[in-house]
C-alpha cells in the first residue's frame, strides 16, 4: 500500500493517496498489535466467513483434515522465514520502514531460534 501511495503522489492523485494512506495506517496498526505475538508476526488463516466458504469445498466423506489444519499451503501460527519479506522489499525499494524495526529484529531472531537445524536427521519431507 505504501507503494500505491507513492505512485498516487507522484501522479498527482492526492485523493487516492489519502484513501490508501488511511488503509495503510489501519493495516499497519492491526499487524503490529494483533498479529505480533511478542516474538514474531503470526499468520491468522481465516478460511470461513459468514458470507462464503473459502476452503475449496469438501473432500469425499467430509472435510476431515481441512477442518483441523485449514486450507492448503497456509502455515498458520508458525514462524516462517518469509514473514517480513514485504517489509524488506519496502525498505530495499526506498519506501522506508513499514513495520517497527525492533519487531523485525525480534522476528528474524525468532526465525533463527525456531528454524535452524544443524542436521536433517529425523526429519522427512511431507
pTM, to two decimals: 0.73
Quote the pLDDT of residue 117.
86
Of 125 and 122, the one with more pLDDT? 122
In terms of C-beta distances under 8 Å and separation of at least 24 residues, what long-range contacts does 77-81 make, across chains too?
77/42, 77/43, 78/43, 78/114, 79/39, 79/40, 79/107, 79/110, 79/111, 79/113, 79/114, 79/115, 80/43, 80/111, 81/111, 81/115
Interval 41-53 mean pLDDT: 69
Amino acid at each position: 500500500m505504501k507503494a500505491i501511495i507513492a505512485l498516487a503522489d507522484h501522479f498527482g492523485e492526492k485523493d487516492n493517496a489519502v484513501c490508501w494512506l488511511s488503509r495503510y495506517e489501519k493495516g499497519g496498526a492491526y499487524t503490529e498489535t494483533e498479529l505480533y505475538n511478542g516474538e514474531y508476526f503470526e499468520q491468522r488463516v481465516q478460511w470461513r466467513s459468514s458470507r462464503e466458504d473459502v476452503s475449496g469445498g469438501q473432500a469425499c466423506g467430509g472435510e476431515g483434515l481441512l477442518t483441523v489444519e485449514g486450507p492448503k499451503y497456509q502455515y498458520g501460527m508458525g514462524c516462517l522465514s518469509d514473514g517480513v519479506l514485504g517489509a524488506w522489499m519496502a525498505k530495499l525499494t526506498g519506501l522506508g520502514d513499514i513495520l517497527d524495526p525492533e519487531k523485525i529484529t525480534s522476528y528474524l531472531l525468532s526465525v533463527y531460534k525456531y528454524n535452524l537445524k544443524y542436521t536433517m536427521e529425523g526429519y522427512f519431507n511431507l
